Amino acid sequence: MEAFAGLLQGFDVALKPINLLWGFIGVTLGTFVGVLPGVGPALTVAMLLPLTAQLDPTGALIMFAGIYYGAMFGGSTTTILLNTPGESASIATALEGNKMAKAGRAGPALATSAIGSFVAGTIAVVLLTLLAPVVVEVALKFGPAEYFALMVFAFTTVAAVLGASTTRGLASLFVGLMLGLVGIDSQTGQPRFAFGVPELLDGIDVVVLAVGLFAVGETLYVAAYTSRLPETLEKMSGSIWMSAQDWKRSAPAWLRATAIGFPFGSIPAGGAEIPTFLSYSLEKKLTKYPEEFGSGAIEGVAGPEAANNASATGVLVPLLTLGIPTSATAAILLTAFQNYGIQPGPLLFQIQPDLVWGLIASMYVGNVILLVLNLPLIGIWVKVLSIPRPMLYAGILVFATLGAYSLHQSWVDLATLYVFGLLGFVMRRFDIPVAPAVIGLILGPLAETQFRRALSISQGDASVFLTQPISAAFLAVTAALVVVPWLVRRRRRLRKLG
C-alpha cells in the first residue's frame, strides 16, 4: 500500500511536462547512441553522462532511465540487423534475430523485440514497485557487517560464478579493486597510490574506466582485428508488423522470459547473459516449430530480448534499495547518482521519496515512450547503421574523450583514458570480462568502508561477520557458490578417470 502511495506521488513528478521532456530526450538519445554498432548500454550511459551536468537531480535521473531503456532497444536493433552483439546479453538474440533478418523478416524480429521489451520492462517495473519497499524494510536493519557480506556476495557472483572463467573473472575484479584504492582513504584521509598526482587524489572515475574499456578498448580492438573484414547489413524489407501467428508465438515467450529475467537481475548476481541463454534454450525446448530454430524462429528473439529487459530492470532493485550495482551499466548509473551527492540505499526511500518514486514512475513512462516513439521510427534508426565505419568510430572517440576531459579539464584524465583503452584492448583480445573490473572499482571502496566500520563497532573483533546471522548467511551462500561447482567438476573428472 505504501508502495502504491509512493508510486502515485512518483507519477506526479514523472508526468510534469519538463520531466516528460527529459524522459523523451533520454529515450531518443539513448536509442540513437545505442544503435551504433559496438556501443552497448553501459557505454551509452557513460558517454551521455556529461550532458546532464546542468540538470536538477530528478530531471537528470529521469533522463538516464530513458537513456537506459533507449540504449537497450537500440542495441537489439543493431544485433538483429548487423549480427554484432554490443554486449554479452545480446548474443542470444543474435542467434535467431539475425537469421530472421537474413530471411527477410527483419521487421517482425524488431517488432517482437520492441514489444517484448515493453511487456517485460513494464511487468518488471511493477515487480520492482512491489519488491523495493519490502527489500528496503529488510535493508534498514542491515549494519556494516551485513552490507560487507552482501558486497562480497556480489563480487563473487559477478567475478567468479557468471563468466566463462573464474580465474580471469577474479583477475579482472582485483584489477578493479586495485584501481578503487587510488585516492584518499575515506576513513583516515591518507592518500593511497596517487603518486602525488592531484588528479589521482580524487580517485579514478568509473566513467573514465568504463569509457576507456568499452569505447577506446573496443575501437582499438575492432580496428586492429576486425575492421578489414566484410560486414553485411541486413535490409529492413517487408512489413514491420507481426502476423497473428507471430503474436501467438511471441506472447508466451515474453512472459516466460520475464519470469526468468527479473529474479536473475534482482538478486545481487547481475549479468543478463545467463537469463537470456536460459530463455533461449527454454523456448527451443517448448516450441512447436523446432525445425525453425537455427534459421530464424521468432520465439528465439522474443524470449531473450524480454529476458534481457526484465533482468535490466531487476538490476535496479539492489541498486536502488541497497546501493549495490551488479552490472557495468548499474555501476555507471550509481556514479550518476553519486555525482549528485545521492547515495542509493534504504535511506534514500525515506529521505528523498520524490526522487526515487519519480525515477520508478518514469520507467513506466519511459517504456511507453520507447514503444510509441521507436517502433514507427525504426526506419530512421536503421539509417544510423549505414554511417561508414571510419566516421562512426572517429565520432565515438571524439565523444569518449570529451566525457573524460570534462571531468577535471585535464590531460591526465585523457592519459588515464588511453591506458584503460589499452587495458580494454588486451582484455577483449584475451577474453577477460570487463564488468568485474568496473564493479570492483565502484563497489570496492564502499565495501572497504563497511568492512572497517563493522570492525570499528566490534572493536576489531573479526568474528562479527560470522556471528551476525544475516552476514553469516550471505558469506555461507557465497562460499557455497564457489565451492559447490568446483566439487561437482572435480567429481565429474574423477569419475571420468576412474
Q: How far is the CB of 390 from another protein (least distance, A)?
A: 4
Residue 183, φ and ψ in degrees, nearest 5:
120, -165
Distance from C-alpha of 289 to C-alpha of 299, rounded to nearest angstrom? 9
Residues paired with residue 107 on neighbouring β-strands, in sequence order? none
- The CA distances from residue 416 to 176, 275, 431, in Å, are 14, 34, 22
Distance from C-alpha of 144 to C-alpha of 275, rounded to nearest angstrom? 31
Distance from C-alpha of 185 to C-alpha of 169, rounded to nearest angstrom? 26
Q: How far is the CB of 47 from another protein (least distance, A)?
A: 12
- Contact (CB, 8 A) for 42 and 222: no
- Region for 215 from its dihedrals, namely left if φ exceeds 0, alpha if ψ lies in -120 to 50, beta otherwise: alpha
5 burial level (CB within 10 Å; 0-12, 13-18, 19+): exposed
Residue 184, φ and ψ in degrees, nearest 5:
-85, 130
- Contact (CB, 8 A) for 243 and 262: no
Q: How far is the CB of 400 from another protein (least distance, A)?
A: 10
When the beta carbons of 226 and 343 are compared against another protein, the nearer one is: 226
- Contact (CB, 8 A) for 430 and 424: no
Q: Summarize as ranges the residues that interact with another protein (CB under 8 A).
A: 50-51, 53-54, 164-165, 167-168, 170-171, 173-175, 177-178, 181, 185, 187-188, 190, 192-193, 216, 219-220, 223-229, 388-391, 393-395, 397-399, 401-402, 405-406, 409, 411, 414-415, 417-418, 421, 426, 430-431, 444, 448, 451-453, 455-457, 459-460
- Contact (CB, 8 A) for 382 and 236: yes
Residue 319, φ and ψ in degrees, nearest 5:
-65, -50
When the beta carbons of 82 and 128 are compared against another protein, the nearer one is: 82
When the beta carbons of 91 and 267 are compared against another protein, the nearer one is: 91
Q: How far is the CB of 215 from another protein (least distance, A)?
A: 11
When the beta carbons of 51 and 482 are compared against another protein, the nearer one is: 51
Q: How far is the CB of 271 from another protein (least distance, A)?
A: 16
Q: How far is the CB of 417 from another protein (least distance, A)?
A: 8
User: What is the H or E stretch that residue 106 is in?
Assistant: helix 106-139
When the beta carbons of 229 and 497 are compared against another protein, the nearer one is: 229
When the beta carbons of 402 and 487 are compared against another protein, the nearer one is: 402
Q: How far is the CB of 398 from another protein (least distance, A)?
A: 5
Q: How far is the CB of 303 from another protein (least distance, A)?
A: 22
Q: Where are the beta strands (DSSP E) in 172-271?
A: 183-184, 191-192
Count of all residues that appear for the chain in the document: 498
When the beta carbons of 248 and 489 are compared against another protein, the nearer one is: 489
Q: How far is the CB of 83 from another protein (least distance, A)?
A: 10
Distance from C-alpha of 455 to C-alpha of 203, rounded to nearest angstrom? 24
One-letter identity of residue 251:
A
Instruction: State the cell numbers at 198.
Output: 592531484
Interacting residues of 163 by C-beta distance below 8 A, sequence separation 6+: 169, 433, 436
When the beta carbons of 248 and 429 are compared against another protein, the nearer one is: 429
When the beta carbons of 198 and 390 are compared against another protein, the nearer one is: 390
When the beta carbons of 16 and 168 are compared against another protein, the nearer one is: 168
Q: How far is the CB of 13 from another protein (least distance, A)?
A: 23
Instruction: State the cell numbers at 80.
Output: 538483429
In the DSSP assignment, the letter for residue 242 is P
